[in-house]
Chain A
Amino acid sequence: MDFITNIPLFTIVLSLFSGVLCMMLSDRAARRYTFCYEVLLIAGVAAVLFYTVKTGQAFTYVMGEFPAPWGNEIRAGVLEALTALFFLIVMLCSVTAGRRFLLVDVDDSKRNLYYTLINLMTAALLAMVWTNDIFTGYVFLEILTLTSCGILIVREIGRTTLAAVRYMIMNLLGSGLFLLGVVLLYDVTGDLLMVPMQADIARLSGDPRNMLVITMATGVLTVGLAIKSGLFPFHYWMPDTYGWATPASGSILSSLVSKCYIFLLIKIYWRVIGIEVFEKMPVRNILFVLGVCGIVFGSLSAIRASNVNRMVAFSSAAQIGYIYMGIGIGGLPGYTAAIFQIFAHSVTKSLLFLTTPRLAEASGNSLKFKDLEGSAVRDRNAGFFFLLGAFSMIGIPIFAGFSAKLLFGTAAVEVSGDRKILTVILALALSSVLNALYFLRTVIRIYQKSPNGDRTRMLHRADYNVPMGILTVLNLAMGLFSWIFADLIQSGLLMFG
């Protein structure tokens, strides 16, 4: 066995250890340590990605060397490695670029604890991506819920606490349903590891009475994770949560946490239920309808939003709708588009959530559209990055958003029947128009010459510009070389089956 097969477990254990360590370090030491170890993790995960692409197959790490039905396993294929890599890069960029706001939002004595939470969250994200055991998935899902609530309430104002309580209530409903689904699946199959579960379900799915239980369990699981990831009509917690969090947290919550739940869901469909069995269930079509509704209603809510942060948050609801629409289209192309959208949206949304507070800062700490007039002139860099993010959201070619929409369109044509193709194309067209409406409106506003003249120019430093630059480069790379990413995702999905 190659040394490289140890890396996935090592990344989880190191993150957990780092969480504890950061509690004992000073703010500055914790920040530097987190930066260094995240870079180390990125290097390790990149090595895993390279290894899996080179060997062309996934590997399984058996913990404690207990064989299949008993032990606990970690599995790494191309898709897991790619997702982990994306998540780590976005996490590092968000934390680095959002640091200046932490100085304002978080009390001096508690700032090292923020890094503790970030490290524990990294552990949970990685464990959910790597795991091959559905109950381990549940445990780390709860750890992710707790840490995401933690990074939300570090900003100790009333609105954040209220947002955190509402966020937690929705998440607890989701976790409860997810646990029930896992328990039901365990009862019919008698296994918790994904590979034996899939074999059992394939055997059981012939009998309609068993199929009923499996469908119900899948439905319960799906609703649980849909609530947690904010699918329409469960998206109303989003604006408060993302809008009132400190910018680094808002960026992480919208671009990583909600995406990780969807990744786990896709993994369960492919590796536990089995994609052939899943495609026979009505769950897929329900997800398709809710996804399309999410696209339309998310965009409409964004148009009516009262401030720019709420607008960006509501547009998240629309983007989550895209991902579920991809699952609803189904087949290899549908899932490829859905996962591409997960990556595209996470690099774009983190860019947007990290620019809006800077624009607000240049406008007397107000996020209202009226006050933001001319803010991009006062803070040129933030304005530029917002412009790029907005272009990607609208779907202008050469940006990631465009490639994602293209993939959805071609997936629908390749896989579905006429009615679905028409719905997908209409939804894409409508959403592009609505996106253009509210994002271009904002872009024009922030570049307008404001009546109250130019105020002091913002101080820019490398710790903001470099991570934002990396996110932009990733975005452009996904737009210009989308086929490379699509091929990687596709080969990863084939390794799933």
Chain B
Amino acid sequence: MAGNLIANYEEAAAIVLFGIGFTMLLFQRNLIKKLIGMNIMDTGTFLFLASMGYINGRKAPIIENGVMSAEAYINPVPAGLVLTGIVVSVSVTAMMLSLTVRLYKRYHTLYLDDIYVLSRHQTEDR
């Protein structure tokens, strides 16, 4: 078990990062810290993909010196997935940041619990 973990230390680190990010997103009360957690969580997944996609001793998948054999290069698909994932993560972060700004302007705090208490005292239609 421990041997497996040491042999696959990159994947193990990726899952630990994912766990850290996940718990931060779930339990942190400060919205900005939650967002940082979300980014750590996504980065963990990207590290996992990148380390799985890399094969020792092979080159980036760009044809060099006319070598056409697939054996010479690593798999380009995980890198493509990571790129797509990064785009998604950036747009989600932007969305969440804009929501955070809106909440801060209204309630002047970043703590979700406080915002919740403040919002209950407001009377709003319907």
Contact = CB atoms under 8 A, between A and B. Distances in A.
A179 interface: yes
Give the contact-size bracket for chain A: 20 to 34
A20 interface: no
B95 A146 contact: yes
B26 interface: yes
Nearest to B28: A169
Interface string B49-66: 100100000000000000
A192 interface: yes
B122 A176 contact: no
Interface residues of B, number: 39
Given A176-B18, A357-B126, A162 B103 contact: yes
A149 to B, nearest CB: 6
Given A145-B92, A179-B85, A169 B34 contact: yes
A158 B48 contact: no
A367 B126 CA distance: 6
A29 B18 CA distance: 46
A166 B91 CA distance: 17
B77 interface: yes
A176 B41 contact: yes
Nearest to B124: A157
Interface string A157-173: 11101101110110011
Interface string B16-59: 00100110011000010010001001100100110010000000
Contacts of A192: 77
B58 to A, nearest CB: 16
Q: Is the interface of B mostly helix, strand, loop or mixed?
A: helix
A168 B84 contact: no
Interface in B76-102: 77-78, 81, 84-85, 88, 91-92, 95-96, 99-100, 102
Interface string A176-211: 110110010011000010000000000000000000
Contacts of A146: 91-92, 95
A365 interface: yes
Nearest to B93: A172
B125 interface: yes
Nearest to A309: B126
Looking at A145, A159, A172, which has the most chain B CB atoms within 10 Å of its CB?
A: A172
B106 to A, nearest CB: 5
A149 B95 contact: yes
A172 B25 contact: yes
A86 B116 CA distance: 36
B9 interface: no
A41 to B, nearest CB: 25
Given A172-B92, A176-B42, A164 B84 contact: no
A85 interface: no
A162 B77 contact: no
B13 interface: no
B99 A165 contact: yes
Contacts of B84: 135, 139
A318 interface: no
B115 interface: yes
A219 to B, nearest CB: 14
Interface of A: 135, 139, 142, 145-146, 149, 153, 157-159, 161-162, 164-166, 168-169, 172-173, 175-177, 179-180, 183, 186-187, 192, 357, 360, 365-367
Interface of B: 18, 21-22, 25-26, 31, 34, 38, 41-42, 45, 48-49, 52, 77-78, 81, 84-85, 88, 91-92, 95-96, 99-100, 102-103, 106-107, 112, 115-116, 118-119, 122, 124-126
Nearest 4 A/B pairs, CB to CB: A142-B88, A176-B41, A365-B125, A187-B52
Given A139-B84, A158-B124, A165-B99, 12 more contacts: A153-B99, A158-B118, A158-B119, A161-B106, A164-B99, A165-B31, A165-B96, A168-B99, A176-B21, A176-B22, A176-B41, A179-B45
